[in-house]
Structure 1
Amino acid sequence: MDRIPTRVALRKRNIQIEDSLCPLCRSEDENTDHLFISCFIASNVWNGISTWCKIPNIFVFSIRDLLECHTVIRGSERKKEAVQGIIIIICWSLWRARNNAVFSNSPVKIDSIMSEIKALCFLWFSNRSKFKGLEWKD
Structure 2
Amino acid sequence: MWNNTLMDWDLNPRRQLREWEHPLWAELKNSLNASFCENGNDSPMWTLNSNGLYTVASVKKTLQQPEQNLLDFQSQNTFKNLWKTSIPKKCIFFIWTLLYDSVNTAEQLMKRLPNLCSRPSWCVMCKRNDEDRIHLFILCPIAKSIWRSISSHLSSNVNCLSPKELCITMCSWKQKTKKNVILFNTYASALWNIWLERNARIFNGKEKTVAEIWEDIKALAGLWTSRSSLFSNYQASSIALNLNAFS
TM-score range, shorter chain: 0.7 to 0.9
Paired residue for 2:112?
Answer: 13
Question: Aligned to 1:4, which of 96, 99, 103?
Answer: 103
Contact 1:37 1:61 in 2 (8 A): yes
Aligned residues: CA RMSD: 2.0
Measured in 1, the distance between the counterparts of 2:170 and 2:105 equals 25
More helix by share: 1
Deviation at 1:19, TM superposition (A): 0.8
AA at the equivalent of 2:119:
E
Question: What TM-score, normalized by structure 2, do the two folds share?
Answer: 0.50
Q: Does 1:49 align with 2:159?
A: no
Paired residue for 2:223?
Answer: 123
Paired residue for 1:106?
Answer: 206
Deviation at 1:96, TM superposition (A): 0.6
Pair 9,94 (structure 1): closer, same or farther in 2 beyond 3 Å: same
Q: Does 1:60 align with 2:160?
A: yes
Deviation at 1:86, TM superposition (A): 1.4
* Structure 1 stretches lacking a partner, 5+ long: none
* Structure 2 stretches lacking a partner, 5+ long: 1-99
78-87 or 96-105: which moved more?
78-87
Q: 1:88-99, aligned counterparts within 5 Å?
A: 88-99=188-199
Measured in 2, the distance between the counterparts of 1:124 and 1:72 equals 18
AA at the equivalent of 1:44:
S
Deviation at 1:71, TM superposition (A): 7.2
78-87 or 116-125: which moved more?
78-87
Measured in 1, the distance between the counterparts of 2:168 and 2:179 equals 14
Measured in 2, the distance between the counterparts of 1:22 and 1:83 equals 27
Measured in 1, the distance between the counterparts of 2:222 and 2:181 equals 14
Deviation at 1:85, TM superposition (A): 1.8
Pair 77,70 (structure 1): closer, same or farther in 2 beyond 3 Å: farther
- Based on CA coordinates, which of the two structures has the bigger radius of gyration? 2
Paired residue for 2:141?
Answer: 40
- Runs of 4+ with deviation above 2 angstroms: 68-73, 134-138
Question: What TM-score, normalized by structure 1, do the two folds share?
Answer: 0.86
Deviation at 1:80, TM superposition (A): 1.9
Measured in 2, the distance between the counterparts of 1:91 and 1:5 equals 14
Secondary structure at the aligned position of 1:55 is classed as: coil
Paired residue for 2:187?
Answer: 87
AA at the equivalent of 1:98:
R
